[in-house]
Structure 1
Amino acid sequence: MAHWTPGPFETLEYDRADSARRPTGLTVIVPCFNERQAIESTLDLLADTLRDAELPWEIIVVDDGSTDGSGELLRNRSEIRLLRHRVNRGYGASLKSGIRHARHELVAIVDADGTYPISRLPEFITLAEHADMIVGARVGSAAKHPTLRRLPKWVLNHFAQWMTRQPIPDLNSGMRVFRKSVVERFLNILPDGFSFTTTITLAMLTNNYVVHYEPIAYHPRVGRSKIRPIRDTLRFVQLILRTGMYFAPLRVFLPVATVFFLGFLVTLSLDVYHGNLNERTLLLLVAATQLGMFALLADMIDKRSG
């Protein structure tokens, strides 16, 4: 099996982590919205995987307003704790409901559609002794996205890496293990939609938490995908900019301020050449100054609140 080679920064942070933080229990959260075709096989595999675990565990399934009969199937499962939303509130809202009700400090999330290798959860639990979050980095042909989504995803991923100054093998994987106490710190800013996983990744990286990526296989989903490429890509752009302004304002605003300042220098040189000071030159200077000051102020507020 292929192994991910972490960058120097990740290796350094991972080695410094506290290896004595052995988990005392595990909560697995499975969000479910119209997954009648896959939910039972997913739960069977999950229960089989955890049966021999050496720590207490629970499975929380959040039925997010399913209309295909998933809820009726779930009511007959004695090995799970079932939470129900009266209406469909979103993937992130389901995860947040599960996190709030989790009885254990260590929390795992996995999709109900059969795409993730649940049998590898014990490895993730062991790795969690050394990190605040373990992310399953998807590899293989099934992890490749359609052409329509590939370019936007590449751009967003590289922008996120530039913003966090760290390599991000998988920005929004739905299989991960994390510490409840850490994620609860960001719960009020985590979105209710599919961008939950992207946001928690950026939040933890920009706040210097230890995130480890473990390569995993990714299987074709059972049932119909609920991702809408164009709408969700636009939301991802908005999300990353918003998260960047929240956690790394200097990385977002200073480049824009620099562009305005360079524009000011260009127009100023032209004005000097023509012997006439243009209003556009002054506007560029004001914009560059205001953006720069706003970036510094936002960074000071972020550091103080952190």
Structure 2
Amino acid sequence: MMDSDDGFSLIVPVFNEELAIADTLDRLREIIGDQRHEIIVVDDGSTDGTSEILAQRSDIRCLRHAENLGYGAALKTGIRAARHELIAIADGDGTYPLEEIPALVRRLQSYDMVVGARIGDNVQYSRIRSFPKVFLKLYAQWIARHPIPDLNSGLRAFRRRVVLSYLKVLPNGFSFTTTITVALLANRHPVEFRPIDYAKRIGKSKIQPIRDTIRFAQLIVRTGIYFAPLRVIMPVAWLFFVAAAASLYNDVFRLGDLTDSSLILLGAGTQITLFALLADMVDKRSSS
């Protein structure tokens, strides 16, 4: 059921978006209309004219970081300050179809999070830039045991109390959305993905493909260890066990003696298995 206040908070994190933010806020006003809501714009230390534009608006709550702390940090600030249980987030760069926001919020009647998945009929983004993420998405799906059409969409709605319970482990950078997606799916929260379009951004992208892809990969591994340790760590243990079995076969049938390498491989596999079981036990206790 929808929460009793029947309203929602919309959080828009911005950093140097002077070319798009005014139009974005005007569009949001038209789309949301008379529905009870608040728009929280978190200025993450902008150095262009974004702050001046926001200062002229009386129809928003503007929160400002003195310096650039990161996309995730801006979202955390907005989530903590939100007055409603239902929260939607959207970027201020003109890429996402803002008209989908009311529908995403309504779907929170049945889900803890609803993600606008960029798999619609009109999606404009670099295929080359997205290519490495295909493999990372497959890995994330394996960790979460759930299909993930869009791992890091910046247009989504969720319940505040649910995300607050994970806030301490969510990163301050662009990987905030990736982590919350994997976290909720791995812990079996009801999550829906709704197809949306995606337009070419207004202004220069803040993402650095090579650096952010490497960080993205590191984050997926770390998130997997945190939320699904057995699925991440046990394959490593099995590699050692397979190598130990091959070495033992060679020892018994060729050398006729037990070598140190077989014992080391077997011991390493056993230690990694025990570590995985311990990590899984800690995960279960922390999530209970």
TM-score (norm 1): 0.90
1:220 matched to 2:217? The reply is: no
Distance 1:211 1:23 in 2: 22
Q: Show CA shifts across 1:172-211 (max 9, x none).
A: 0000000000000000111000000000001101111110
Distance 2:4 2:45 in 1: 36
The aligned length equals 285
Would the aligned equivalents of 2:2 and 2:108 in 1 still touch at CA under 8 Å? Answer: no
Q: Matched residue of 2:264: which SS?
A: helix
How far apart are 1:159 and its partner, in Å? 0.2
How far apart are 1:282 and its partner, in Å? 1.2
1:238 matched to 2:218? The reply is: yes
Would the aligned equivalents of 2:125 and 2:200 in 1 still touch at CA under 8 Å? Answer: no
1:190 matched to 2:170? The reply is: yes
Structure 2 partner of 1:66: 46
1:100 matched to 2:72? The reply is: no
Distance 1:143 1:278 in 2: 58
Q: Show CA shifts across 1:235-290 (max 9, x none).
A: 11110111111110000011110111001000110111212322221111111001
Q: Which amino acid aligns with 1:184?
A: L
Structure 1 150/120 Cα, relative in aligned 2: closer, same or farther at 3 Å? Answer: closer
Distance 1:105 1:26 in 2: 7
Structure 1 partner of 2:8: 26
Counterpart mapping for 1:1-306 below 5 A: 19=1, 24-53=6-35, 56-139=36-119, 140=121, 142-147=123-128, 149-272=129-252, 273-306=254-287
How far apart are 1:128 and its partner, in Å? 1.1
Distance 1:125 1:20 in 2: 9
User: Structure 2: any 5+ residue segments left out of the alignment?
Assistant: none
Identity percentage of aligned residues: 55
How far apart are 1:144 and its partner, in Å? 4.2
Would the aligned equivalents of 1:23 and 1:106 in 2 still touch at CA under 8 Å? Answer: no
Q: Matched residue of 2:16: which SS?
A: coil
Q: Which amino acid aligns with 2:24?
A: T
User: Structure 1: any 5+ residue segments left out of the alignment?
Assistant: 1-18
Q: Matched residue of 1:205: which SS?
A: helix
Would the aligned equivalents of 1:106 and 1:179 in 2 still touch at CA under 8 Å? Answer: yes
TM-score (norm 2): 0.96
Structure 1 304/95 Cα, relative in aligned 2: closer, same or farther at 3 Å? Answer: same
How far apart are 1:151 and its partner, in Å? 3.1
Would the aligned equivalents of 2:40 and 2:61 in 1 still touch at CA under 8 Å? Answer: yes
RMSD: 1.3
